[in-house]
């Protein structure tokens, strides 16, 4: 998804929705994965970098445009047809 957005950006096109899709998917996955890692490792999470990932991941869904805004940008692009569905 990231390479798809980057490749389109390299061609000079606007990639608001494509970049939004990549950052939205990656940041939500980071939140889910770091939470699962905390659950799996429990008290041992502090011995690895898991606690740090768990703290850092939510920022990825807020900074440089929240994921709520990303969803709005993506939805507008899909409805307008500027990004093909499927
Ligand atoms: C730890 C941390 C570090 C940060 N560091 C930086 C930094 O280094 N540089 C920088 O520039 N900024 C930084 N920010 C600021 C961050 O980019 C903003 O917090 C973010 O863009 C949201 O803006 P806001 O706080 O004004 O929230 P608002 O725009 O007031 O939004 C509040 C809530 O409403 C939602 N919302 C707003 N409008 C809509 C809409 N139209 N549709 C649906 N939902 C909507 C938002 O998603 C959010 O959940 C940081 C924030 C945090 C928490």
CA 42 to chain centre: 25
Residues having CB within 6 Å of any atom of ligand 1:
59, 62-64, 66, 68-69, 72
CA distance 61 to 66: 6
Query: Would you say 49 and 3 are in contact if contact means Cβ atoms under 8 Å apart?
Result: no
- Give distance in angstroms: CA of 69 to centre of ligand 1: 9
Residues with a known catalytic role = 64
When pLDDT is cut at 50, 70 and 90, the band that residue 85 belongs to is confident
- Give distance in angstroms: CA of 42 to centre of ligand 1: 30
Q: What pLDDT does 46 receive? A: 85
Q: What pLDDT does 68 receive? A: 98
Query: Would you say 19 and 9 are in contact if contact means Cβ atoms under 8 Å apart?
Result: yes
CATH code of the region 16-78: 1.20.140.10
Which residues, including other chains, have CB under 8 Å from residue 33's CB and lie 6 or more apart?
53, 57
Instruction: Give residue-wise pLDDT tens across range 6-54.
Output: 999 999 999 999 999 999 999 999 999 999 999 999 988 888 899 999 9
Mean pLDDT of the chain: 94
Show me where the domains of the chain are located.
16-78
């Amino acid at each position: 998804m990231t390479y798809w957005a980057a490749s389109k950006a390299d061609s000079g096109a606007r990639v608001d929705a494509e970049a939004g899709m990549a950052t939205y998917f990656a940041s939500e996955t980071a939140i889910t994965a770091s939470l699962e890692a905390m659950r799996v490792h429990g008290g041992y999470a502090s011995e690895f970098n898991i606690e740090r990932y768990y703290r850092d991941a939510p920022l990825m869904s807020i900074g440089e445009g929240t994921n709520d805004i990303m969803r709005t940008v993506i939805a507008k692009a899909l409805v307008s047809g500027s990004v093909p569905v499927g």
